[in-house]
Structure 1
Amino acid sequence: MGEHTTENEGTATRNEGACCTTSGHSLTEQEVATDVQMLSTLGNDTRYETLRLIAEADEDVCVCEIEPSLGVSQSAVSQALSRLFSAGLVERRKEGRWRYYTATPRAERLLDVLDETRALADG
């Protein structure tokens, strides 16, 4: 116990002592919580597809445009938009009785990174 074997130019050597050290990361608890909330928000088909629709649109997207595209209820779209807004992934503005949504720069970058990593997996 306390030993591990390493390969060194074809010969195995044994080192005494612990092989593991405590490691950490540079994020605060609040940053971790925010990131987990954001990732959790994207972990649902309706919310993810809603964000994709908004991010790929040429202009602000009205709620009334999202529902038919996804084939889900107005309630499901409203819940998705609320979660996306709370996670900081969309911005909204009200015009009369309608709300219009745009993707935040962070959301757009996250989607770009997902696209890039998908391309790496396909290649």
Structure 2
Amino acid sequence: MSEKSYPSQSQDRFIVRLPDGMRERIAEEARKNNRSMNAEIVSRLEQTFNLVSAAPLSKGIKNLSSNIKMLAMEAIVISNYASSLEQYLDVVDPGGPRPPRPSFDEAALESGSDGDNG
């Protein structure tokens, strides 16, 4: 009579030494989640790997957000500088030609928004 084979018999195995109380904690969480202790451990490892792989993305998003805020502040400074130049030109060359001035929502820049509602 041949012995029945299960897929888990061919999977990698790794013996882990658990600190006191850890086995009971894993067993309790596995019961709460309706899965085996092995499935609980594998699930938690997978979650950890997903968090670690998302960490660089999160850092990149924070850097982008910081750069956007800095650019918004620079745009406000440039806008103020342009206003000062216009006032100066009004004094030294009243009614003279002026280049068109780009418009933007300064309040949106100060709040970090792009001014779009969509």
TM-score (norm 2): 0.29
- Greater relative contact order (Cα < 8 A, sep 6+): 1
Q: Which structure's residues are more often helix, by fraction?
A: 2
More strand as a share of residues: 1
TM-score, L = length of structure 1 = 0.28
